[in-house]
Each structure stands twice: as C-alpha cells, then as structure tokens.
Amino acid sequence: MDELDIDVVADVELDDPVLIEGLPGVGHVGSLVAEHLLEEFEAESTLVRRIYSTAFPPQVAVEDGVASLTCTEVYAVTGTGGEDLLVFTGDHQAQHGDGHYALAEAFLDVAESFDVSQCYALGGVPTGELIESYDVIGAVTDESMIDDLEDAGVEFREDEPAGGIVGVSGLLLGLGVRRGVDAACLMGETSGYLVDPKSARAVLSVLETRLGFDVEYDSLDERAEEMEAVMGKIREMESQASMDVPSDDDLRYIG
C-alpha cells in the first residue's frame, strides 16, 4: 500500500455534485449528518471510492466477524430531489499533521474527478456548556459565499471559531481555495462533551435549505432523545454534587 491509496469501487455520473465531508470530530456532528444523509438516501447512494492512508490508525474494524481496513468511504448520491451529493464519511481522522494534509488533498482529488462545484465540510464547535439553541457557525473560502449562507440561517461571527478550524474540515477550505474550489465549513454549536444529534439536525437543516432536498429526522430525533436522557442524568448528578458542598477541611486536600 502506498502512503495514500484511492480504490475505485464504482463510477456514477453526477450532475455538478456538492461535496459533503463528515468525519469524526467535536460532538460527532459531522459524522452524524453524513451518516443520516446516507441512511435517508440509502436507495439513492452508491459507494464509489475507498480512501486508504497510512496516516489512519493501523487498525481494522470488525463487524459480524469480518474485518475491514480503516478508510474514508465516498458515496455518490443522485436523485435526492435537490443537488447531487458526494459524501465523505469514515471512523477516523488522520493521526498526524502531515497525514491531515495528505488526506485533504486526496479528498480534493476525488472531488475534482467528479467535477464537484462546491464543498461543505461539516463539524461541531464546542461551547463548553450545555446549550439550548443550536446555532450553526460558518466559515468560507470566499466572502462572496457569506450572503447565501446567512440566508440559510448560518451565522458568521467576527472572531469565531476562536482557535480556527483544525483537521481535514479546515484543510478542505485552506487547500480548496488554493485550487479554486468554493468551500464552506458549517459548524453546529455543541457542548462538546457528548455526541450531539441536535447540533447535527441544525446543520442538516442548513444543507436542506441550500441544496434543495428533504429528509426525515425521526432516527436523528430518537438519538437526540437518548442523549437527552443521558444529559438529564448528568444534570441530576451535577445538582446533587452541588448540594453536597465540601467543607473547608475537605478543600485543603484538593490538589
């Protein structure tokens, strides 16, 4: 295997497809959106590429006893009612900096071979606290893209995300602009502590508006309810903990 291998699994004709990247990250927001799209458009999706890299963890996943090598899978989705899609999803990010660059370039190579017209890199932006209203923060390669995204409900803020965007999502923009590709990063606000289906729903809703398709949210809402139950328990534990105020004596021993 080379440092980077792109296996052609199938070829599908797509009409000006839109790249959707949803790799694991903060709140698993990007992954949740990509997986939900592939579930909802299962009949319309074809696995077209597998991208292998020695920068991925040296690892296989095992499902029902059958092993498969860590990779990014690329699905062609056509007949969505809106734009054709090219969805990038997988269980892992690259494990080191140089690998992130190599992987993002590979994503853009695949995108070019499908004549992708624009890219959406999806992720979460951690707020550090449990949140009520799920805003979607945006970043783009060119400021001419901002107006349309604001119309779809995306917020652009002067200094956010404060630390920039790390990993393949950020590089799709950073390297995309050098190739003349229009790319946007959509980041759902999330506490950052838990898998966050509600944040994923907010991002999906922007994509629906922008790309002209409709999806059901039932399975995502179910996952959101499960997480809600988990968060409920966490809040309960927190409130008990705060009633159980430590005495001065205790505090002396806290390192």
Report the residue from 156, 192, 205, 231 that binds its own copies according to the rule CB under 8 A: 156
Interface with its own copies: number of residues (CB under 8 A): 60
Q: How far apart are the first and last CA of the chain?
A: 49
- Of 149 and 215, CB closest to its own copies: 149
Q: How far is the CB of 214 from its own copies (least distance, A)?
A: 27
180 binds its own copies (CB under 8 A): no
Burial 90-118 (b: 16+ CB within 10 A, else e): bbbbbeeeebbbbbbebbbebbeebebeb
The C-alpha atoms of residue 107 and residue 195 are separated, in whole angstroms, by 25
Distance CA 30, CA 92 (A): 12
User: Pattern of binders to its own copies over 83-112, x per CB under 8 A?
Assistant: -----------xxxxx-xxx-xx-------
Q: Cβ atoms within 10 A of the Cβ of 169, count?
A: 29
Peptide bond into 161 cis (omega under 30): yes
**What is the x/- site pattern for its own copies, positions 45-84, by CB under 8 A?**
---------xxxxxxxxxxxxxxxxx--------------
DSSP letter at 180 equals T
The residue among 14 and 119 lying less far from its own copies, judged by its C-beta, is 119
Cα–Cα distance between 226 and 155 in angstroms, integer? 28
> What would the two tokens of residue 131 be?
């949140």
Tokens for 178, please give them.
């050098």
d(CA 38, CA 87): 8
Contact between 253 and its own copies (CB under 8 A)?
A: yes
Does the protein bind its own copies through residue 166 (CB under 8 A)?
Answer: yes
Residues 14, 182: contact at Cβ < 8 Å?
no
Among 9, 47, 146, 227, binds its own copies (CB under 8 A): 146
Binding span for its own copies by CB under 8 A among 20-28, 135-143, 202-210, 233-241: 135-143
Nearer to its own copies, 21 or 40 (CB): 21
d(C-alpha 78, C-alpha 193), whole Å: 35
Minimum distance of its own copies from residue 226's CB (angstroms) = 18
Among 8, 169, 171, which Cα is nearest to 74's? 8
Query: Residue 59 Cβ, how far from its own copies at the closest point, in Å?
Result: 5
In terms of CB distance, is 7 or 39 closer to its own copies?
A: 7
CB-wise, 81 or 246, nearer to its own copies?
246
Task: Rule CB under 8 A: choose which of 3, 11, 42, 151 binds its own copies.
Answer: 3
Where do contacts with its own copies occur on this chain (CB under 8 A)?
A: 1, 3, 7, 54-70, 94-98, 100-102, 104-105, 138-143, 146, 156-161, 164-168, 170-171, 173-175, 177-178, 185, 250, 252-253, 255
